[in-house]
């Protein structure tokens, strides 16, 4: 494709469609390329794809899918696509169970020794795994400073509540991704940590001045830019003290062009967060949000799930986007693709991969953090807890493959005289709590697995009730451990940071006394 050369350049309709298509990234609902998506690429030349867990079943299936997607886009546009996933690790994991899935940000940040090395190496391993499967863009790391205990969408996805810890650790992650040639993306600019509203559902508002942002939220983003991050994702958050228009940062020229481009000097790609999220969809509409994001200075609009909306947005953008602005972003995109997508991907051989997988599992075990001294289980322990559930739409779908009490009972079979597994609802009722207490009456101890317990009053009430009836109580936080502030000093507390099959054996090893949990807490309001 010929690059624009000044005022004399004139685009054909097809060339304009290609340029418009490069400014969108979108997905589809199946684990195969649908006819609707294929038609969309053919008509609107969509240049980039985002995949979610519902698209991915196994390594072999993912590799075949990305190959088909790349071939489709190249045949219609002549330009390789970004094929993206949100592979943060931990609670936001898109790669299949037979892939290497690393711990999340706060888990890695909890490592007492060689933390920076582990973050770099885990990012490097993620990059090798993704590239070997045909994924070329990771929407990670999360550069948010988690400084609000009521934040349900970020939490353990953040490295810390300390902006300088987040800055340091996210920079190591960026360098790890880049060491393998993977495009990474710092998010969610200018910061999603100090919110109590989930932007998937509503519009958060942060009442901070630019000076206040400079002291906290912008610190990690400045460090990310210095580390060479090639792309940044916007947040759907309003900052009325910075701009009183009411527009969230995604669609706000003062924030995107004024602060990110001009004040911070960022010259890479700017992506929106998904425009189908409630913050945008409910207030401005997904399609209109894309056009407003372009006017604010965004390069690529993300419409993650609905191809028909992406088609509608392309249709309107084709008629309305200014040529000069279109060409500026287009050139930024193709230059980035030339830098990252034109290189040959080294083979991820079996021996190297097995070595990396073993390293990740050793690291995962080391992330466990004993916040309160754990109580002995005794000869007849009880394990209590709910299945994982969707905390936020950024989470993976509900996963029935991991159930804390069932997994613990299975792992302790033969180690003790016996063990009891009690599966509760997500938010236990008073009647259910009474029943659980009665069932545990004859056990030597009870260990409760919580999942965002601080936001579920029933989980907290269950802990309180068991503390009154049992001598030995432990709590294992399988996501944000904010509920530890509610515990009796005599109740044991273990932060696990994720609810996954991979973390169960390390938890059992710590509870049984066969391993130490020597991580350090990185979440505000939680103290060792």
Q: CATH number for the domain including 417?
A: 3.40.50.1700
> Within this chain, do residues 283 and 379 fall inside the same structural domain, yes or no?
no
Q: Do residues 346 and 403 share a domain?
A: no
pLDDT(192) > 80: yes
On whether both 49 and 117 belong to a single domain, the answer is: yes
Question: How big is the chain by its Cα radius of gyration, in Å?
Answer: 24
Q: Would you state the pLDDT for residue 524?
A: 55
How confident is the model at residue 415, as a pLDDT? Answer: 74
Structure token pair of residue 372 = 């309160």
Distance of alpha carbon 326 from alpha carbon 318, whole angstroms? 10
509 vs 199, which has greater pLDDT? Answer: 509
Claim to verify: residue 325 and residue 286 sit in the same structural domain: yes
Under the banding of pLDDT at 50, 70 and 90, the label for residue 8 is very low
The pLDDT score that the predictor gives to residue 194 is 85
Residue 6 clears pLDDT 90, i.e. is over it:
no
0.85 surpassed by pTM: yes
How many domains would you assign to the chain?
2
Once rounded to an integer, what is the mean pLDDT over residues 120-138? 98
Residues 337 and 396 occupy one common structural domain: no
Q: What span, in angstroms and rounded, lies between the C-alpha atoms of 178 and 158? A: 20
* CB of 467 closer than 8 Å to CB of 473: yes
Distance CA 475, CA 404 (A): 12
The mean pLDDT value for 107-111 works out to 96
Which listed residue (144, 192, 198, 200) is catalytic? Answer: 200
Residue 526 lies in a domain: no
Instruction: Output the six-digit token pair for 452.
Output: 């965002």
What is the residue-averaged pLDDT of the chain? Answer: 92
Indicate if 431 and 327 belong to the same structural domain: no
Lowest mean pLDDT among 183-192, 213-222, 314-323: 314-323
The 3-state DSSP class for residue 205 equals strand
Instruction: Judge if 418 and 317 occupy the same domain.
Output: no
Same domain? 113 vs 226: yes
Q: Does residue 504 have a pLDDT over 90?
A: yes
Establish if 517 belongs to a structural domain: no
Tens of pLDDT along 358-377? 999 999 999 999 999 999 99
Q: Is residue 246 part of a domain?
A: yes
- Cα separation, 161 vs 503, whole angstroms: 23
Residue 162 has pLDDT above 50, yes or no: yes
CB atoms within 10 A of CB 66: 22
pLDDT of residue 526: 55
Tokens (6 digits) for 230: 């090639």
Query: Which pLDDT score, from 0 to 100, does residue 399 have?
Result: 54
Identify whether 454 is a catalytic site residue: no
**Distance of alpha carbon 258 from alpha carbon 491, whole angstroms:** 50
Selecting among 138, 273, 299, 356, the annotated active-site residue is 273
- The pLDDT of residue 152 is 73
Average pLDDT over residues 415-444: 92
CB atoms within 10 A of CB 73: 23
The dihedral through the CA atoms of 94, 156, 510, 124 has a sign that is positive
Separation of alpha carbons 200 and 220, rounded Å: 23
- What is the DSSP secondary structure assignment for residue 285, as one 8-state letter? -
Judge whether 112 lies within some domain: yes
Considering only residues 155 and 431, tell me which one the structure prediction assigns the higher pLDDT: 431
Host domain of residue 250 = 21-351
Mean pLDDT for the stretch of residues 300-315? 93
Residue 67 phi/psi, 5° resolution? -65, -45
Whether pLDDT at 25 is above 70: yes
| Residue 105 · residue 156 · CB < 8 Å | yes
Q: Of the candidates 291, 323, 351, which is a domain's last residue?
A: 351
Please determine, for residue 425, whether its predicted confidence score (pLDDT) is greater than 80: yes
Instruction: Please say if the pLDDT value at position 236 is more than 70.
Output: yes
Whether 525 is in a domain gets the answer: no
The yes-or-no verdict on residue 10 having pLDDT over 90 is no
Task: Please report the beta strands in 413-504, taking only residues with DSSP state E, as ranges in sequence order.
Answer: 420-423, 445-450, 473-477, 492-495
The stretch 396-416 carries a mean pLDDT of 78
Please answer whether residues 202 and 148 qualify as being in contact, where contact means their C-beta atoms are separated by less than 8 angstroms. no
Cβ contacts of 32 within 8 Å, gap of 6 or more: 65
Task: Specify if 8 maps to a domain.
Answer: no
For position 105, which CATH number holds?
3.20.20.300
Determine contact, residues 91/481, Cβ cutoff 8 Å: no
Write down the pLDDT at residue 195. Answer: 84
Query: Where a domain ends, among 319, 351, 383?
Result: 351
Whether residues 336 and 198 fall in one domain? yes
DSSP state of 510: H
pLDDT surpassing 80 at residue 1: no
The answer to whether residue 227 sits within a structural domain is yes
Residue 490: inside a domain? yes
Buried b (16+ CB within 10 A) or exposed e, 374-403: bbebeeebbbbbbbbbebbebbbeebeebb
> Is 154 found in the same domain as 43?
yes
Helical axes 307-320 vs 13-21, angle rounded to 10°: 130
What band does 32 get if pLDDT is binned at 50, 70 and 90? very high
How far does Cα 137 stand from its chain's mean position?
A: 13
Domain boundary among 301, 318, 351: 351
192 a catalytic residue:
no
Q: Are residues 386 and 473 in the same domain?
A: yes
The answer to whether residues 403 and 280 belong to one domain is no
Q: Cα separation of 383 and 474, whole Å?
A: 9
For residue 495, what are its two tokens?
């932060």
């Amino acid at each position: 494709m010929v690059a624009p050369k000044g005022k004399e350049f004139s685009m054909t309709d097809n060339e304009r469609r290609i340029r418009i298509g490069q400014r969108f990234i979108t997905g589809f609902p199946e684990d195969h390329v649908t006819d609707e998506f294929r038609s969309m690429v053919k008509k609107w030349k969509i240049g980039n794809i985002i995949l979610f867990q519902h698209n991915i079943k196994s390594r072999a299936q993912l590799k075949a899918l990305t190959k088909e997607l790349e071939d489709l886009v190249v045949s219609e546009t002549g330009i390789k696509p970004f094929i993206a996933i949100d592979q943060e690790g931990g609670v936001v994991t898109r790669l299949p169970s037979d892939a290497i899935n690393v711990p999340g940000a706060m888990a890695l940040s909890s490592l007492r020794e060689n933390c920076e090395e582990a973050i770099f190496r885990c990012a490097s391993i993620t990059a090798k795994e993704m590239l070997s499967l045909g994924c070329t863009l990771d929407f990670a790391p999360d550069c948010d400073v988690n400084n609000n205990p009521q934040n349900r969408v970020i939490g353990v996805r953040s490295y810390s509540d300390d902006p300088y810890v987040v800055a340091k650790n996210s920079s190591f992650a960026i360098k790890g991704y880049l060491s393998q040639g993977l495009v990474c993306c710092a998010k969610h600019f200018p910061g999603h940590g100090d919110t109590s509203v989930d932007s998937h559902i509503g519009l958060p508002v942060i009442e901070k001045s630019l000076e206040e942002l400079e002291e906290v939220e912008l610190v990690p983003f400045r460090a990310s830019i210095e580390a060479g991050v090639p792309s940044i994702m916007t947040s759907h958050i309003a900052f009325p003290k910075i701009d009183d228009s009411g527009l969230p940062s995604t669609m706000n020229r003062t924030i995107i062009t004024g602060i990110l481009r001009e004040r911070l000097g960022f010259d890479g790609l700017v992506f929106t967060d998904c425009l189908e999220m409630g913050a945008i969809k409910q207030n401005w509409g997904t399609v209109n949000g894309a056009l407003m994001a372009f006017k604010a200075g965004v390069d690529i609009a993300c419409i993650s799930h609905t191809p028909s909306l992406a088609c509608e947005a392309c249709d309107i953008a084709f008629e309305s986007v200014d040529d000069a602005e279109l060409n500026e972003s287009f050139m930024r995109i193709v230059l980035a693709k030339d830098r990252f997508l034109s290189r040959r991907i080294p083979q991820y051989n079996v021996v190297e991969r097995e070595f990396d997988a073993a390293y990740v599992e050793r690291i995962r075990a080391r992330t466990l953090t004993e916040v309160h001294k754990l109580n002995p289980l005794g000869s007849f322990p009880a394990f209590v807890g709910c299945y994982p559930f969707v905390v936020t739409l950024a989470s993976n779908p509900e996963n029935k493959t991991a159930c804390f009490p069932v997994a613990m009972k299975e792992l302790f079979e033969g180690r003790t005289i016996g063990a009891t597994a009690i599966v509760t609802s997500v938010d236990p009722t008073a009647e259910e709590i009474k029943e659980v207490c009665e069932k545990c009456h004859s056990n030597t101890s009870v260990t409760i697995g919580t999942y965002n317990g601080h936001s579920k009053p029933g989980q907290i009430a269950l802990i309180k009730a068991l503390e009154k009836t049992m001598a030995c109580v432990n709590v294992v936080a399988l996501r944000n451990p904010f509920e530890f502030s509610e515990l009796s000093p005599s109740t044991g507390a273990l932060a696990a940071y994720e609810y996954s099959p991979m973390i169960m054996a390390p938890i059992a090893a710590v509870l049984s006394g066969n391993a130490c949990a020597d991580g350090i807490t990185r979440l505000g309001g939680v103290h060792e």
